[in-house]
Amino acid sequence: MTSTDDAIAQPQHTSEKFEIQAFVEQLHQKYQSLRDGKLADYIPELAKANPDWFSICLATTDGRVYKVGDFDQLFTIQSISKVFVYGMALEDHGREKLLTKVGVEPTGDPFNSIIRLDESSKRPDNPMINSGAIATTSLIKGKDPTEKLNRLLEMFRRYTGHDLFVDISVFMSERTTGHRNRAMAHLMLNFGMIDEPVDEALDLYFQQCSIMVNCCDLAVMAGTLANRGVNPCTGERAIAPAYVRDILSVMYTSGMYNFAGEWAYRVGLPAKSGVSGGIIAVVPNHLGIAVFSPLLDCRGNSVRGVAVCEEISRMFELHIFDSLAYGCSLLDAAPKPEA
Ligand code: GLN
C-alpha cells in the first residue's frame, strides 16, 4: 500500500464542529489502496466476495449516521452475531445462570480453536469463540427451531430498525462444510457442556451467522450498545440496560480472538469481528463504529477494518484509558483535598 502516509486533517478539540463526514471520506480514501489479506474461503460461499468492497459507517448516540463507500452492500454478519445472541441469552437466563454455562475468560486462541475444549472444564471459555457461541446459541429459548430463529431475527430487527433475513446459500454452505463446528458441538455434548438436540443448535448457529446486514446496520447495532441498549435511530430498546456492560466486557477481552490483547492495547475499545469482513467497535455513550472490507489477516480480522479503527481511535483519543476522552465526573465531583 502506498497512500497510508497521506495526511488526514487532525480533529480539533474546539467549539468549532469537526467535519466528521469529511473525516470518514478521507479515511476511506486513505485505506482504499490497502489490499493486504485474503478472503475467507473455508466457507465456500464467502470466497465469492469482492475484495474491493470497503465501507466505513459511524452511528452516534444522538442518531446521526455517517457513511462512506459500499455502505449498502449486503454481507453475512458471521461472528459479529455472537455479541447480540449472547445478549439474548443473558436476557433469557440471567447473568449468574449463564456464567455457569459459558465462561468469560479470554483464550488467546483462534476463533475456531478446539484445543481448550477439555473435560475438566464444564463450560467453554467465552461466548466469542465458536465453541462458546454454539453453547450460547443452544441456550436460546423457544418451543421449536422456528420460534428460536424468529426470536433471534426479531432481536436483530430491534438493533437495526428493520427486518433481516438469512442468506440460504451461505447457511447451506456453512451447514455442509462446518465439520469443525459440528465436531466441537458433539465434543461439548460428550463432555456435558451442552444438551441435545445438538444439530438444532448448530443449525441455529449457522443461521445466525448467515443473517444479511450492511455496514450501516452494523454501525447502528454498535451505536445501540453505545447508547445503553436503545437504538439511537428508532428509539426502540434492543436489550435490557443491565446486560450491556456484560456484553461490552466480553467484547473487550475476547472480541478479536488471538488479537484481543493487541487490539485492547492499540485501539482500546470493545469490538467484534467476523470472517465476512465486518468489524464493530463501541465508544460507550458516544458512538458505534463499523468497517466492512472482506480481506482478512491470518487471525480472521479485516485488515482495513483493524487499520481504520486504530486510526479513528487514535485521532479522536477514544481508547477507554485515554483520559482526554473520558473525564471522570465521579472524581471531578469528589471533595478536593485542602491546598
Ligand atoms: N460462521 C463462522 C464459523 O463458525 C463464524 C466465524 C467468524 O466469523 N469468525 O466458522
Tell whether 334 is covered by a domain.
no
Tell whether 333 is covered by a domain.
no
Report how far Cα 253 is from the mean position of its chain's Cα atoms: 12
Tell whether 337 is covered by a domain.
no
Q: What is the pLDDT of residue 110?
A: 81
Q: Are residues 33 and 86 in the same domain?
A: no
* 128 in contact with ligand 1, CB cutoff 6 A: no
Tell whether 169 is covered by a domain.
yes
Q: Are residues 96 and 172 in the same domain?
A: yes
Q: Are residues 59 and 180 in the same domain?
A: no
Q: What is the pLDDT of residue 251?
A: 98
* 79 in contact with ligand 1, CB cutoff 6 A: yes
Q: What is the pLDDT of residue 114?
A: 78
Test site for ligand 1: of 39, 76, 79, most ligand atoms within 8 A of the Cβ? 79
* 275 in contact with ligand 1, CB cutoff 6 A: yes
Residue range 263-283, pLDDT digits in tens? 999 999 999 999 999 999 999
Report how far Cα 58 is from the mean position of its chain's Cα atoms: 14
Closest ligand 1 atom to 180 CA: 10
Q: Are residues 83 and 71 in the same domain?
A: no
Q: What is the pLDDT of residue 121?
A: 74
What's the CA angle centered on 221, arms 220 and 225, to 5 degrees?
110
Tell whether 157 is covered by a domain.
yes
The C-alpha atoms of residue 251 and residue 27 are separated, in whole angstroms, by 24
Q: How far is the CA of 3 from the centre of ligand 1 (A)?
A: 31
User: What's the whole-number mean pLDDT along residues 303-308?
Assistant: 98
From 165, 182, 209, the end of a domain falls on: 209
From 158, 183, 209, the end of a domain falls on: 209
Q: Are residues 321 and 231 in the same domain?
A: yes
Reported as a pLDDT band with limits 50, 70 and 90, residue 5 is: very low
The C-alpha atoms of residue 145 and residue 142 are separated, in whole angstroms, by 7
Residue range 34-87, pLDDT digits in tens? 999 999 999 999 999 999 999 999 999 999 999 999 999 999 999 999 999 999
Q: What is the pLDDT of residue 108?
A: 84
CB under 8 Å, gap of 24 or more: what pairs does 5-8 form? 6/30, 8/311, 8/315
Q: Are residues 13 and 130 in the same domain?
A: no
User: What's the whole-number mean pLDDT along residues 299-326?
Assistant: 89
* 246 in contact with ligand 1, CB cutoff 6 A: no
Q: Are residues 134 and 220 in the same domain?
A: no
Does 79 participate in catalysis according to the annotation?
Answer: yes
CATH of the domain at 162: 3.40.710.10
Q: What is the pLDDT of residue 120?
A: 76
What backbone torsions phi and psi does residue 76 show, to the nearest 5 degrees?
Answer: -85, 140
The C-alpha atoms of residue 33 and residue 55 are separated, in whole angstroms, by 13
Q: Are residues 68 and 132 in the same domain?
A: no
Q: Are residues 229 and 271 in the same domain?
A: yes
Reported as a pLDDT band with limits 50, 70 and 90, residue 2 is: very low
Q: What is the pLDDT of residue 305?
A: 98
**Structural domains in the chain (count):** 2
Residue 163's domain comprises: 79-209
| H, E, C per residue of 164-208 | CCECHHHHHHHHHHCHHHHHHHHHHHHCCCCCCCHHHHHHHHHHH
Closest ligand 1 atom to 112 CA: 10
Residue range 99-145, pLDDT digits in tens? 999 999 998 888 888 777 767 778 999 999 999 999 999 999 999 99
Bridge partners (DSSP) of residue 75 are 213
Q: What is the pLDDT of residue 117?
A: 73
* 112 in contact with ligand 1, CB cutoff 6 A: yes
For the record, the C-alpha cell of 257 comes out as: 480472538
Tell whether 331 is covered by a domain.
no
Tell whether 194 is covered by a domain.
yes
Q: Which of 30, 82, 101, 148 is catalytic?
A: 82
Q: What is the pLDDT of residue 16?
A: 43
| Terminal CA-CA length for the chain | 55
Whether residue 86 is annotated as binding a ligand: the answer is no
From 178, 209, 240, the end of a domain falls on: 209
What's the CA angle centered on 319, arms 216 and 337, to 5 degrees?
135
Inform me whether the pLDDT recorded for 299 exceeds 80.
yes
The C-alpha atoms of residue 251 and residue 132 are separated, in whole angstroms, by 13
Q: Are residues 180 and 98 in the same domain?
A: yes
Q: Are residues 135 and 186 in the same domain?
A: yes
Q: Are residues 50 and 121 in the same domain?
A: no
Residue range 204-258, pLDDT digits in tens? 999 999 999 999 999 999 999 999 999 999 999 999 999 999 999 999 999 998 9
Tell whether 335 is covered by a domain.
no
Q: What is the pLDDT of residue 337?
A: 52
What is the three-class DSSP state of 287?
strand
